[in-house]
Amino acid sequence: MPKGYCRIFLASAVTVLTVTSSADAQERVALRTDAILYGDNTEFFNPFREGATLLGTAARVAIDVDLNRSVTFSGGVFLNHYFGSDRIAEIWRPIIKLALQSKHQRFIIGTLDTPERTNVLGPDRTGPHGLLPALQRETLAFERPYEAGLQWKMHYPGFRQDTWINWQQTNTSEERERFDVGMNGRLPLVNKLAMSLAYQFHMVHEGGQLFASGPVRDSWAVGPGLIVEPKVWFFDRTMVDVYALFSQHVPDRSRLQDSKAGHGLFARISAEKNGWRGHLIFWDACNWIKEEGDTNYGAMREDGTRFNNRRHYGEVGIAKMFHPAKGVEIEGSARLHRIERSYDYSYRVLTHLNLNFPTWTRR
């Protein structure tokens, strides 16, 4: 792991540990079940992204041991099962996590808190860390719902930030190591106008020093944004967010002349009323190439050729959230996509179960 990232997360651990060291002792054990049942269908017939149907369940079953009010150890199992598959699960992974938390911060070593879907409405915000789709595609929440590494989350009144390193692959004689690192934050600017500064960063890196098995690659994007939430009498919530984004794609560090720099403008308008949400997205970009990003936003066609003109993308969608029981969220959504001259559609049904069963407490 690069030394710079280590320093950041070690500093965060020291910060959280300083706050948690004086916590009262209280041991609790609870069984936690967290599952996402997903049905996602994309009818795409354009040069940039192929349509696909994803049906399955990503589930976590773990025992949470609260050593005190600020330190929790979790152990269990994660599985992701595709409906119709002959196998019980496509992947099995252990859940091993130590979480250090204070009132406004949470530091995690091990299995990360992703994807996190509590009270988030809208298919365009479904990604593992809530990044814009141009940086990280939403369907990773179903295709790669398990993440492990380091995570530091802050949540103060009006301010929140999620920073993480997700280790995807180790360095071997056959393949390079691979990880992604990111940050998603929001800082209030003018409370009376409900205006906030937003910022997002995401990088995918392939490298490693033990074995030189393939090229060293980088693909990153970063950008500031402005979020305004005006009060409109008819709606429960309205939001306008605009981001100026910049990308750098380096397929091989030994051939920097093949690197591509890009930029894009992302604008979104959304409104919510009685559990309904409608949104409109506009995207304008030039030379945008981003690993793990939604290819509908990118300059690379599926056949590997590059689209040399400016890219335009837009979508309009509607979603409805249901809460049939405590700890259960069901969201249905549909979208119409405009990808250059192609008009495609998609729809999704997503169920999130978050159930906790306390089993034992000792002071």
- What are the sequence ranges of the domains in the chain? 3-362
Q: Contact 292/180 with Cβ under 8 angstroms? A: yes
C-alpha to C-alpha distance for 252 and 257, rounded to whole angstroms: 9
Tell me the CA distances in angstroms from 109 to 73, 74, 152, one per residue in order: 10, 11, 9
Contact at 8 Å (CB) between 137 and 293?
yes
Confidence at residue 161, expressed as pLDDT on a 0 to 100 scale: 93
* CA–CA separation, 311 and 296 (whole Å): 9
Strands 159-169 and 260-273 come out as unpaired
pTM: 0.87
Q: What 3-state class would DSSP assign to 48?
A: coil
One digit per residue, the tens of pLDDT, for the chain of length 363 reads 455 555 555 555 555 555 444 445 567 888 888 899 999 999 999 999 999 999 999 999 999 998 888 899 999 999 999 998 888 888 899 999 999 999 899 999 999 988 766 557 899 998 999 999 999 999 998 888 899 999 999 998 888 999 999 999 887 777 888 899 999 999 988 777 789 999 999 999 988 777 777 788 899 999 999 999 998 889 999 999 999 999 999 988 888 888 899 999 999 999 999 999 999 999 999 999 999 999 999 999 988 898 887 999 999 999 999 999 988 999 999 999 999 989 999 999 999 988 887 776 666
Q: Fold for 3-362, please state it.
A: Porin (2.40.160)
Query: What is the rounded CA–CA span in Å between residue 147 and residue 145?
Result: 7
Cα 360 off chain centre by: 33
